[in-house]
Chains A and B, each alone.
Chain A
Amino acid sequence: MLESLMAVVKPEMKSYVWLQTVDGSIQQVEEEVAMFCPIICQDILHKGMGSSKNNAIVLPERVNPANLGLVLDYCRFHQVSGHSNKERKAFDEKFIRLDTKKLCDLTSAADSLQLKPLVDLTSRTLARVIEGKTPEEIREIFNLPDDLTEEEKLEPLKNVTDDPRIRLLNRLYARKRKELRERGKMKNAEVEEERVDERSVDDLLLFINGGKKEIKVTKSGKGKKKNRRRKDHTKGSSSDNVNENHEKGSNGIPLSCPDGTDDDELDPAMKEQLDREVEDFARRLNSDWPKRMQEILSLGPGRSPPAISIGGNGSAA
C-alpha cells in the first residue's frame, strides 16, 4: 500500500516520513505534519531518521496506532499557518470530544512526544472532567483503585441526614403535628417569662402551632463590625408582654413534611410499629446517657417511662 502511495508524487513533491509505533507497525506520514512533534522533528533533523521504512523513527512506547492517528490529525490541522485563532479554537473543541479513556491515552502519547499544546488541551479537558466530582466518582471514571487507608483519608464523615433515627424522629414530629392541627388551631398566646427546658414533645409541637410564646424586647445591636469604635452592645432590656396571634400559613406557603412522607396512610399496625421503634430508639439513646439527661428527655412527672413515648398520649392508634 505504501509503495503505491510513493508512486503518487504530487507536483509539490510532498515528502513523507516513516514512523514506527510500539506494536511494531510502521506508518508513512507527511513530513510537515510529523515535524509538528518536537521529538519527531529532532529525530528527522538531527539524526536523519525516518526517510525510509527500514529507517523508521521509533516512537515512544506510549504511542500506539490509535492515538498516533489522533495526534497526527491535530498536527495536520495546526501546522497550517493560515488558520485563525477562532478556527483553531473551534477545531480543538471538536477534537477533544473523546471518552475519558481515549483522552488519558492521548495525553500520555502527546506528553511522550513533547507536543505541549496538545498536552495542555487534553489536560485541561481532563481537569474539567475531574472538577466538581467526588473522589468516588473520579475513581469510577478513571477506573482507579480505592486503596487509601482510613488514616490517610481522614475524610469528613458523610452527611448524616440519612440517619434512619433522624428520619424517624422527623416523621414522628410530622405525625404529631398533624394530630394537633386536627384538634384545633390557633390559641391566643399567654406570655411566659421563663421557659423551662423539661418540656414534653407535645408541648414542643403545640408551641410550633401557635402556642405559648415569649416576647422580650431587648436592645442589642448587631451592627456592622466597622462600628467597633462604639463597643457597647447591650443596653438595658425592657420586656414587653405582647399578645401574639400566630397565623401560620396565612401567606400560603405549602408546608411539606421534612422527609416528604404523608402520615395519612399509616395504618394502625404501622403506627404501632413506629411507636415501638421510637421507644426502642429512645431507650438505646438513653442507656448511654447519665440519669439526669434521661429525666430531661422524659415526658415530665406523671408520664410513664421511657422517654418520647407518643403512644401513651392518647393518640388514635
Chain B
Amino acid sequence: MNKVVSPKSTAKSIVMRNTFPEEVLEHVLSFIDSHSDRNSVSLVCKAWHETDRWCRRRLFIGNCYSVSPAIVIRRFRDIRSLAIKGKPHFADYNWVPEGWGAHAYPWIAALAEAYPALEELRLKRMVVSDEALELIGKKFQNFRVLVLCCCEGFSTDGLAYIAANCRNLRVLDLFECEVDDMGGNWIGHFPDSYTSLESLNVSCINSELRFSALERLLCRCPNMKALRVNCTVPLDKLAILLEKAPRLMDLGTGLFMTELRPEVYKRLAVAFSRCKEIRSLSGLWDVAPSYLPVVYPICPMLTSLNLSYATIRCPDLIKLLTHCQNLQRLWVLDFIEDRGLEVLAASCKDLQELRVFPSEPYNQEPNISLTEQGLVSVAVGCPKLQSVLYFCRQMTNAALFTIARNRPNLTRFRLCLIEPRSADWQTHGPLDDGFGAIVEHCKDLKRLSLSGLISDTVFEYIGTHAKKLEMLSLAFSGGSDLGLHYVLSGCESLRKLEIRDCPFGDRALVLNAAKLETMRSLWMSSCRVSYRACKLLGQKMPRLNVEVIDERGPPESRSDECPVENLYIYRTVAGPRLDSPGFVWTVNENWAMRSPSL
C-alpha cells in the first residue's frame, strides 16, 4: 500500500478507513471462531492486530512452553476461554519421565491477575496441583467450565474446593486424569444453593463417590445434560440417577453388573426408556450380559458409544450394535472380532469414527479373531468413515489398498500392529506400499500412525503425497536418515512428529532444521541423534527449544557422539524454560543449560 500522501490517496485512505471502521470489524470478527482464522486475522495489519487485542475471547495454546503467560497477557486484554496443552502426546504411554514439567499453577496465577473474568479453562496433559484448583475457585468469580484431560497432580481435596467455591460452574469434566484420593466427600461440597451444573464427568476417579450427595446434586440441577459417573456407582443405583435426570444427552454408567434381580432390571429398563435424549453412552465397566438389553431403547438414537471398558463378548456386541443404526462413533475392545465389525459395517452406515483397542496387549496369542479383515469390512461398508484407530496383530498391503481405495475421505488413520515390525503376513514384505496407498488416496489425511515392518520407501511416499498431514507417529520404522529427511522435507503441513526406536540420526535433523520452526514439536526417543547434533541445533535455531531428556545423567558426561535418550524440540517465543527438572537439558547458545532449581 503506497504511503505517498496525495489528495487523491488521502481521500482513498479516508474512504478505506471508513468502509471498515472498528465497530464493523468487531462485528465481523465475532463470527470468526476457529483459532487458525483468528490467528490469521491477527496478522493482517496493525488495525486488525489491535482490534483482535481487544476482541479476542477464546485462545488455544498448543504447547504451554511455546509462549509465556506474560506474553499472552500483553497481547490480549480480555480472554474468557483458554485451552492449553502441556506434555507431548507420547506422555500418554509413559515415555515422558515423571516431573518433566507442564505445570498449570504458574499459568493460573498469572491469569488470575490479568483475566478476572475468565470463564473457561481447558487443560490437557498438564500437572494441576490442588493449589492451582484452589486459585481457580478463589479468583475467578464467573468461572463456568473446567475441563482437565489427561492431567495429574491434584486430589479430591482440590475438587472439593472447586465444588465449594465456583458458584457459576456449569461444566466439570475430567477425562483420563489421575486423581489422588484424600477421602472425604468432595461431591458434598457443592452448596445447597448451587444449581447450575450441566456436565459432570468423573469417570476417571477411582475413589468412592458418595452416592447420596450425587443424588441430591442431580435433584437440584435441572439443566444436567451430561453425567459420567465412575466404576464405584453400582448398577442398581443407576436407575435412581436416571430418574433424577431424564433429559441427559450424555451418560456414562458405572459398573454394569449386579446379581440378576427382576425388580432392578425392570426399574432400569423403565428408566432408560424414559431417557429420550441420550445420544452418547459410555462407562459400562464389567458388563453383565443379561442386563445389556436395558439399554436397547436408547440405542437407535445413539451417535456415540464407548465400550472400551466393556467386557462384552462378540455375540452380545453384535446384538447391541444391530440396534444402533445411527451410530457415528464407536470405541470398542477387540472382543468385537472380525464378525462383529462386519455387522457394524452392515448396520451403521453413518459411522465416522472407529477405535478398536486391545483387550490383552501383552498376550501374544489371545483367543480373539480380530484381523485386518474387520477393518476392511468397515472401510468398505461405511461410506462416512473418517477416523480410524485400530490395534491388531496382522495386516497386509492388500488390505491397506482396499481401505485406501474405498475410503479416500479418511482424515485420521492410526494403525497399531502390536508386534513391532510385523510384516505383511501374505507377502512377508514391508507394509510400505499399503501405507503408500493410504497417503496417495486419502488426500485430506491429517493424522497418521505407522506400525509394522516399514522401510524408508514409505517415507518417500509420505513426503510426496501427504501434503495435508499434520501429525505423524512412528515406532520401529524406517532404515536410515533418509526416511526422516523425506518426511521433514515433503510434508508441508506437518505440525507434530513423534518417533521412537527408529534409526534416524543427525543428518536429516540438521539439514531440515528450518522446518522444525514451522512445526509445533518433534519428539524422538531411542533414536540415533547425537548430543553434538542437539548442540548444533540449539545453537543455530534461537526460536527452538532443544530439550535433551536423559535420565542417565548430564550429556556432557558422555561422549558427544553418544545418542541422547529422548529429544524434544519445539518452537517457542518464550526462550528456554526456567522450570526444567534435573534430567532435562535445554540446549542453546549457552550449551547445555539446566535451570538451577529442582
The answer to the question of A161 belonging to the interface, with a C-beta cut-off of 8 Å to chain B, is yes
Q: Report the nearest B residue to A110, measured CB to CB.
A: B24
- Shortest Cβ gap from B22 to chain A (Å): 10
Within 8 A of B (CB), among A142-157: 142-148, 152-157
Of the listed residues B45, B419, B456, B571, the one surrounded by the most CB atoms of chain A closer than 10 A to its CB is B45
Within 8 A of A (CB), among B13-27: 16, 18-21, 23-24, 27
CB atoms of A166 and B511 under 8 A apart: yes
The answer to the question of B182 belonging to the interface, with a C-beta cut-off of 8 Å to chain A, is no
| Chain A 205-229: CB-based contact to B (< 8 A → 1; otherwise 0) | 1011000011111111111111110
* Interchain Cβ contacts under 8 Å between A and B, 29 examples: A104-B19, A107-B28, A108-B19, A123-B30, A130-B37, A130-B41, A157-B517, A160-B518, A197-B505, A199-B480, A207-B480, A208-B482, A217-B419, A221-B362, A221-B418, A222-B451, A224-B308, A224-B361, A226-B308, A227-B361, A245-B428, A247-B429, A251-B397, A251-B398, A251-B401, A258-B489, A288-B540, A290-B536, A296-B506
Measured CB to CB, the residues of A under 8 A from B are 62, 101, 104-105, 107-108, 111, 119-120, 123-124, 126-127, 130-135, 138-139, 142-148, 152-161, 163, 166, 169-170, 173, 195, 197, 199, 204-205, 207-208, 213-228, 230-231, 233, 235, 244-253, 255-256, 258, 285, 288-290, 292-293, 296-297
Complex: how many Å from CA A169 to CA B486?
A: 11
Complex: how many Å from CA A151 to CA B18?
A: 28
Measured CB to CB, the residues of B under 8 A from A are 1, 16, 18-21, 23-24, 27-32, 34, 37, 40-41, 43-49, 92-94, 176, 308-309, 357-358, 361-362, 391, 397-398, 401, 416, 418-421, 427-430, 432-434, 436-437, 440, 451, 455-457, 460-461, 463-464, 475-476, 479-482, 485-486, 489-490, 492-493, 501, 503, 505-507, 510-512, 514-515, 517-518, 528, 532-533, 536, 540, 560-561, 571, 573
Partner of A195, one of B21, B358, B503, B515: B503
Known: A222-B475, A225-B176. A292 touches B561 (CB 8 A): yes
CB atoms of A147 and B511 under 8 A apart: no
- Shortest Cβ gap from B438 to chain A (Å): 11
CB atoms of A251 and B433 under 8 A apart: yes
CB atoms of A101 and B19 under 8 A apart: yes
CB atoms of B561 and A131 under 8 A apart: no
CB atoms of A126 and B28 under 8 A apart: yes
A-B contact count (CB 8 A): 231
- Shortest Cβ gap from B315 to chain A (Å): 24
Question: Sorted from nearest, which 5 A-B pairs have the closest CB atoms?
Answer: A223-B361, A127-B31, A145-B1, A225-B92, A135-B43
Which residues on the A side are within 8 Å of B421 (C-beta)?
Answer: 215-217
Complex: how many Å from CA A243 to CA B430?
A: 13
Partner of B19, one of A105, A135, A139: A105
CB atoms of B518 and A159 under 8 A apart: yes
Which residues on the A side are within 8 Å of B30 (C-beta)?
Answer: 123
Known: A101-B19, A233-B94, A258-B486. A155 touches B43 (CB 8 A): yes
Known: A124-B31, A148-B49, A228-B94. A111 touches B23 (CB 8 A): yes
CB atoms of B92 and A219 under 8 A apart: no
Which residues on the A side are within 8 Å of B480 (C-beta)?
Answer: 199, 204, 207-208
Given contacts A218-B476, A253-B437, 10 further A-B contacts (CB under 8 A): A142-B20, A169-B511, A207-B479, A218-B420, A223-B358, A223-B391, A230-B362, A251-B397, A258-B490, A293-B536
Complex: how many Å from CA A139 to CA B518?
A: 22
Known: A144-B45, A207-B480. A250 touches B427 (CB 8 A): yes
- Shortest Cβ gap from B515 to chain A (Å): 5
Known: A204-B482, A225-B92. A144 touches B416 (CB 8 A): no
Known: A104-B24, A195-B503, A228-B94. A143 touches B1 (CB 8 A): yes
CB atoms of A161 and B489 under 8 A apart: yes
